Amino acid sequence: MDFFISQAHAQAAGAPPQGSVAFQMVMLLGLFIFFYFIAIRPQRKRQKEHDALVNSLEKGDEVVMTSGLLGKIVKVDGDYLLLKVTDNTELKFQRIAVHAVLPKGTLKAI
């Protein structure tokens, strides 16, 4: 019956475990480095680009909000901006809600 059941061997008392601690540490460090380049670094880059976009907003810019709303900036006041959506509708948003700045004249073309 040894054909179907593999032999189980007990570890000798006081013997070091299979695989070294150094190898496990190198694997853990490698996993962290992989995670850094796949997840953390690109997210930080996108965050810096968005911060630069938000800080460069000024009156007259045509923007797209994260909700998909299009409008023209009428006033920038600290962390908020006043967005002109239609001829007689102005809405107040947080600056961080801006998704992208559109080229001038985009709103008239739509």
CA atoms within 13 A on the CB side of 109: 6
Torsion angle of alpha carbons 27, 28, 29, 30, nearest 10°?
50
Residue range 13-63, pLDDT digits in tens? 665 566 688 888 999 999 999 999 999 999 999 999 999 999 999 999 999
Neighbours of 30 (CB within 10 A): 10
Mean pLDDT, the chain, whole residue set: 89
Distances (CA, A) of 108 to 6, 17, 39, 81, 102: 76, 72, 39, 21, 12
Q: Looking only at Cα atoms, what is the longest distance across the chain? A: 87
Can you read off the two tokens belonging to residue 99?
């998704």
3-state SS, residue 41: helix
What percent of the chain stands above pLDDT 90?
73
Cα 49 from chain centre: 11
